[in-house]
Amino acid sequence: MKLSLGLASKPAPALPNSVLWLAKDLGYYEREGLDVTLQELDGTPTVIAAMIAGDLDVGNIGTDQLVKLAAQKSVDMRAINSSDARQYFLIESKDSIGTIQDLKGKTFGVAKVGSLDDTMTRLVLQAKGFDPTQMTFAGIGAPDARAQALVAGRVDATTMSLGTWVSIQHEKGLKTLVNADDYYAAAPINLKVNAATSKLIQSNPEVLRRFTAAIMKASRSFAEDQNAWVDAMLKRRPDLKRDDLVELWPQFKNAWAVNGLFNLEQYQKTEDFLYKTPDFKDVPPAALSAWTDTQFVDPCSSRSVWTRSLTRPAGLFRDAEQLQGRSPCRGLGCPQKADTEWGRRLVRSRLGGALLAASLLAACGGTAAPSAKPVATMAVSYPEGGAHLPLWYAKDKGIFARNGLNVDLRPLGGGSPAMAALTSGQTQVADITGSVIAAADAGGADVLALATLDPVYPYVLEANADIKSPADLKGQAIAVRAFGDATDVAARVALQKLGLTPDKDVRLIEVNSENARVAATLAKQACCTVAQPQDRPLLESNGFHQLFDFSQLQGTKNAQGVIGVTRAYASGNSTAVQAFMDSLVQAIAAEKADKPGSLALIKKYLKLDTEAGAGTPTPSAASADQIANVLYDYFVGQVIPANPVATADQFTDGIAVAAEKNAQLRGFDMSRYIDGSFLEQAEKRPPSA
């Protein structure tokens, strides 16, 4: 499939947005079956004109221009994803400018008078207590041109991005007057989005899905591996210095488009900000749904992670659907709270209040669950698998609500995307793989482990008929869910105990979801897979067999389903964290006494009764009951402990595996990041709060 991508700046900036260029250089587009042509043009208006003319399929354009198009109803165009979480502007000046007040009577370079960078800069300066009318604004053009004008002394100061700044930071006679974080605090907007016309969205959604998949995969690589981004940037931009890029990368660690960066709350804030600027004084209002389309990034869909689709744009769900757990944003870049504009409008209405109360009915009794005074709203991520039943039970049975919590469960998996969401504040609690917490802590994240829902490896290795013994695995491939998650760690630990070297004797491939793992194995992309109980009937009916049971391997402990929070959040929100842990302990006890209710939740959250998407094997409705029973008996009966204590030795195997590729984990002491105090207090409380 061919795709023409328009870029409103050149060369590739030293920012997360560089992924649009680097995905081409590193073959990410090609691996998604795309032949992408990059067209570097001069500014957003030129890109939009080329899109209207049909010369471009996708454009990386300014959010302000897209909102105007939607408001004026001149062109039907929608944002489909973003490759940068925020703007990284700063104000650079001559070093003779001591303070912002010294700009009085000076010349300030902008793209053009009235442009977005001009408007934002005026607002930033006003927020800093300076009247921008006291200086002269000069239209210079593109960021590189403004930077060179400053270096040459033709202007006294200018606004530029970090990506432009890095190319002149070593020039003498310059200083940073307003840094990027202070600038963003005064102008908190999403600067650019990747957009397509509605005509293309309707006529060829598959090419846009593949484009989005490539961006996400490349972004994940750069978010996890500093050298991957630095090396790629140096090949495309040999004018940059490695040390400068190494210095920049930590500032972008949580800004990569690992899940599409479709944060509707932030987009609404961006729109609200724009309408406060003089440039939008006469622009009619534009609904958020008029310029966004989340179907290519929304993780709530039943399609696989790279081909998800919704039939309606986010923000257009009916109230009842929203209250049943469908939020208009659940990607990595989604808001911390579920109080987006649709939610605020709903709660403000009397009908909304009634519906909200109805949504908190206790499923077992059908009457309103008595609620404590609200303590907090929190987003909680979780992976697939039966070990995470306590979260589902606490949510759907009203236990969270009774403990004063408004909890939004988000299926982000147990790997690096979930950790990125936690450390960036997009979620407050993560049900996550222990090795991922250890790696983050070794890198300075300071995430605490509060409990472990799954202290064993709940898997078997299912192999095709050609694999008779572990020795036959040599030269073969095993499918895991995601590198670094529990399936990956389990496979590596098991192979080592069997005398095989992962990545040398046996290749591991990641497929990013449970269903895709089974599908890849049946399609013979791998000889074997790390299978959960629900996988076995389908695999074994197709000629596969159990090679060994991970839980029976001697000397293995596991840190899976670890409840993680940042130390900062736990310190500042101890009441909310305690309420969460109280709810968790109560749910574990309650699910053991409520098998029918638990079976319904297992089928609901694992989608055992629903079609999982084209090409994905799905159990029949009849087998769904059987699989749900197997999962309940296994996880509730054998895996999930009544007292889910987290201990340092549970992390040992995962740290050892990860340390092979991450030197920071060698000799890492996980005990400093385990906090059992919340669980201890929860165990002392009555069974029902």
The percentage of the chain sitting over the pLDDT mark of 70, rounded to a whole number, equals 83
477 found inside a domain: yes
Give strand ranges (E) for 63-144.
77-81, 89-94, 107-110, 136-139
Are 176 and 161 within one domain?
yes
218/236 Cα distance (integer angstroms): 15
- How far is residue 560 from each of residues 385, 394, 434, 569, measured CA to CA in Å? 11, 19, 6, 21
Rounded to an integer, the average pLDDT of 279-284 is 82
- Give the distance from CA 460 to its chain's centroid: 29
**Over the range 85-122, which residues count as b (16 or more CB within 10 Å of their CB) and which as e?**
bbbbbbbbbbeebeebebbeebbbbbbeeebbbbbbbb
Rounded to an integer, the average pLDDT of 617-624 is 52
> What would the pLDDT profile of 468-513 be if each residue is shown by its tens digit?
988 999 999 998 877 767 788 888 888 888 889 998 999 998 876 6
496/527 Cα distance (integer angstroms): 18
Q: Is the dihedral of CA 124, 129, 130, 131 positive or negative?
A: positive
415 found inside a domain: yes
Lowest pLDDT segment from 36-45, 394-403, 462-471 = 36-45
Lowest pLDDT segment from 128-142, 314-328, 503-517 = 314-328
Lowest pLDDT segment from 331-345, 463-477, 595-609 = 331-345
272/227 Cα distance (integer angstroms): 37
Give the pLDDT band (50/70/90) at residue 366: very low
Are 220 and 173 within one domain?
no
CB-count burial class (<10 Å; 0-12, 13-18, 19+) for 8: buried
Report the pLDDT value the prediction gives residue 57, as an integer from 0 to 100.
92
Report the pLDDT value the prediction gives residue 516, as an integer from 0 to 100.
67
Domain that holds residue 130: 89-186
Tokens of 104: 């009085």
Are 77 and 212 within one domain?
yes
Rounded to an integer, the average pLDDT of 644-666 is 86
Residue 310 has pLDDT above 60, yes or no: no
Give the pLDDT band (50/70/90) at residue 560: confident
Report the pLDDT value the prediction gives residue 317, as an integer from 0 to 100.
27
Are 65 and 106 within one domain?
no
Residue 97 has pLDDT above 80, yes or no: yes
Question: Between these two residues, 296 and 554, which has the higher pLDDT value?
Answer: 296
> What would the pLDDT profile of 31-65 be if each residue is shown by its tens digit?
999 999 999 887 787 788 778 777 889 999 988 88
159/278 Cα distance (integer angstroms): 18
CATH number at 109 reads 3.40.190.10
197 found inside a domain: yes
Report the pLDDT value the prediction gives residue 343, as an integer from 0 to 100.
35
Are 203 and 149 within one domain?
no
Report the pLDDT value the prediction gives residue 230, as an integer from 0 to 100.
92
Report the pLDDT value the prediction gives residue 620, as an integer from 0 to 100.
43
316 found inside a domain: no
Give the pLDDT band (50/70/90) at residue 610: low
Are 201 and 64 within one domain?
yes
Are 126 and 82 within one domain?
no
Are 547 and 564 within one domain?
no
341/78 Cα distance (integer angstroms): 19
321 found inside a domain: no
Among 527, 552, 577, give the residue marking a domain's end: 552
Q: Strand 429-432 vs strand 507-510: parallel, antiparallel, or unpaired?
A: unpaired
Rounded to an integer, the average pLDDT of 605-619 is 56
Number of domains present in the structure of the chain? 4
324/409 Cα distance (integer angstroms): 12
Rounded to an integer, the average pLDDT of 613-633 is 64
Tokens of 568: 């900062």
Mean pLDDT of the chain: 79
Residue 347 has pLDDT above 90, yes or no: no
322 found inside a domain: no
Are 464 and 411 within one domain?
no
Give the pLDDT band (50/70/90) at residue 601: very high
**Over the range 373-387, which residues count as b (16 or more CB within 10 Å of their CB) and which as e?**
eebbbbbbbbbbbbb
Report the pLDDT value the prediction gives residue 583, as an integer from 0 to 100.
94
Give the pLDDT band (50/70/90) at residue 253: low
Question: Between these two residues, 343 and 372, which has the higher pLDDT value?
Answer: 372
Task: From 295, 581, 264, select the one nearest 428 (Cα to Cα).
Answer: 581
240 found inside a domain: yes
Are 213 and 146 within one domain?
no
Question: Between these two residues, 50 and 408, which has the higher pLDDT value?
Answer: 408
Among 501, 517, 552, give the residue marking a domain's end: 552
Residue 71 has pLDDT above 80, yes or no: yes
Question: Between these two residues, 656 and 85, which has the higher pLDDT value?
Answer: 656
Among 269, 290, 311, give the residue marking a domain's end: 290
Number of residues that make up the chain? 689
Rounded to an integer, the average pLDDT of 99-124 is 86
Rounded to an integer, the average pLDDT of 197-206 is 90
465 found inside a domain: yes
Residue 409 has pLDDT above 90, yes or no: yes
> What would the pLDDT profile of 11-23 be if each residue is shown by its tens digit?
888 888 899 999 9
Question: Between these two residues, 99 and 687, which has the higher pLDDT value?
Answer: 99
48/55 Cα distance (integer angstroms): 10
Are 535 and 492 within one domain?
yes
- Give the distance from CA 359 to its chain's centroid: 27
Residue 395 has pLDDT above 90, yes or no: yes
Tokens of 499: 């005398």
Lowest pLDDT segment from 24-33, 130-139, 370-379, 412-421 = 370-379
Is the bond into 470 cis (omega within 30 degrees of 0)? no
Report the pLDDT value the prediction gives residue 512, as an integer from 0 to 100.
62
Are 79 and 124 within one domain?
no
